[in-house]
Amino acid sequence: MASENIVEVTDSNFQTEILGSKLPVLVDFWAVWCSPCRAIAPHVEALAKEYDGKVRVGKCDIDSNPEVATQYDIRSIPTLLVFKEGKVAGQVVGAVPRAKIEDLIKKAL
């Protein structure tokens, strides 16, 4: 799941890794059983590499980390949230095209 460009987001590290980040952070809320989540995963991975150093990218498995998902009212997955300075700065829901995910990132820069 997590790679060199993607941090694994958990209930316990959310505060420091996401809300405390100096860079904007794209968080992909997903689950292993979710096929639309698997469909967008390559786009998220590619954007993590492309925007390395400008934006952090994390993935949060909602089954393993229900507190964060509940806190941000995640009702459908995949949900992508962009955090900037500790606050939600944008959101997309569903298996959207790569360009829509990239637009979300660009708006946070």
Flag whether 64 is in a domain. Answer: yes
12 has a pLDDT exceeding 80:
yes
- Which pTM was predicted? 0.95
Domain count, the chain: 1
Neighbouring-strand partners of residue 82: 26, 90
Please state the rounded mean pLDDT for residues 87-98: 96
Give catalytic residue positions.
34, 37
**Helix pair angle (98-108, 35-50), 10° resolution:** 50
Flag whether 13 is in a domain. Answer: yes
Q: What is the pLDDT of residue 57?
A: 97
Enclosing domain of residue 67: 6-108
Cβ proximity of 87 and 71 under 8 Å: no
Tell the residue number behind the tokens 């694994």, with chain if given: 8
Q: Is 73 left (phi over 0), alpha (psi -120 to 50) or beta?
A: left
Confidence of residue 4 (pLDDT cuts 50, 70, 90): confident
19 has a pLDDT exceeding 70:
yes
Cα–Cα–Cα angle for 49, 31, 33, rounded to 5 degrees: 120
Residue 46 maps to which CATH number? 3.40.30.10
Two structure tokens written together for 71:
């806190």
1 has a pLDDT exceeding 60:
no
* Strands (DSSP E) found in the chain: 6-8, 25-30, 56-61, 79-84, 87-93
